[in-house]
Structure 1
Amino acid sequence: MAFVSTSTDFVTWTAPRLAVEGDYRDAEAARGAGGLEAQVYGMPVYPYEGVYLALPWMFTITDAGANGAGGGPIVPQLATSRDQDLLRWSRPARDPILPLGDQGAWDDSMIFTSSTLQTTASTVSVYYGGFNVDHGGGPGQSARIGLATWRRDGFVSLRNAGDEPGTVTTKPVTYTGSALHLNTDVFAGGSVKLEVLNASGTVVATSDPVTGDQLDTTLTWASGVSLASLAGQQVRFRFTVDGADLYSYWIA
């Protein structure tokens, strides 16, 4: 389980409140892998681009362990939140964000991530501790420190690699700024396009197709109104993704 306690002076703290715990999906995944149950062993939290990211350490209990503390692997997953109280979290994807190493590797049994992220204009990195035995312990235990690096915003993506383009429409947002940016990696022959819809659902602007591996590309517009004229209005964005990973978009 992961609890939240906050302080404004690092002396007086609020009572801990439950934020994240293992649920039925975690239990089903654990049993499907031959385990008994799954628990959130710990969860470092990171402010990132106006939201909160977290890497819950998922402990799959498989047996009593050599020392009676419970045996099984621990791997980090991904959680996100827009809740300033850090109590409401979303975990739509349950795959390890940082998988264990191959059997026999120094990090093939447990991974614990650090409490900070390192960011550059093109990458996000996190240091982690890896162990060659699981939580139950055992002979020959050793640990080392590693560094995992993703492209900026590259933790997850909206991917379409099928025969037909896929579309996704955002919730209504109040438009501010003058330019739309994308972080996307488009496969050969694919593209990403964006339509801007007004409050009534009418398309008011259509972008030119984006191709290639673009960490930060500013959209150009094939037709429609000037985006600056939409300032203060409620709009939605409809992406058409054809053979691409769409990582993020933002307005500047």
Structure 2
Amino acid sequence: MSFRILFIECVCEDQELLERNIIEILRYSEDYKSMSEELAVDDLRKKLEHYMRQYEPIDASLETISFVRVENMGETVTAQKVAGQKESGILGYLSGLRPLPQTLYFTRHGESEYNVIGRIGGDASLSPRGQTYARGLAQHMNALADLELLTVWTSELRRTKQTAAEIRAPKRAVRALNELDAGICEGLTYEEMQERFPQEFAWRDQDKLRYRYPWGESYIDIMTRLRPVLSALEDEHNVIVVGHQAMNCPT
């Protein structure tokens, strides 16, 4: 069917990494929440033994296949017949893996004054309900900040900065996290957009993914400018990203 297949093989024989992974699985997996630690460890080790018996490694002598083999979380990366932009991007991502635990939190900003009246974009402040959300978010994240090393990334817009204001962690405003630029429709309601620019409204309704606002952006544009942000996040520890509706969806 003209598909290209890229196999990805992950092999871990580093005992320290394996034990760390087991601890992470036991801590966070829903499978073991209601199970005692002794039974959970026994069950997980039996699963691993079963996987090892069934596992069939990639045969590198088969010259017709494309594959990437990652050993011990990026200690060694082997590639064969990797071609094209997408496959090269996957290889680049796998080559940058690091054996360190990391948690990324994504949240939209609290309700803004523009949200209340249905206006697009802009740089409005939080509404009273948005301020309530900001306080609740800070209370939740501050409890985690006492246990983990956290940083906060926001956009350059007021509503994200206000949402993150009370979180006790270093903050960084990232321009690439700004909301989709609605161009000539910034500050309008969708009803006003339909009235003033009926053809634009119809085009947007037909294909929201690719539609680009005049003098503004499309969702495809957002996905492109987010790629460097995602790459940068890979090098961080634990990050809270306070973003926007359009930004968090492609993320």
Tell me which interval the TM-score lies in, with the shorter structure as reference length.
under 0.3
CA radius of gyration, larger in: 2
More helix by share: 2
More strand by share: 1
**Higher relative contact order (Cα pairs below 8 Å, separated by 6+ residues):** 2
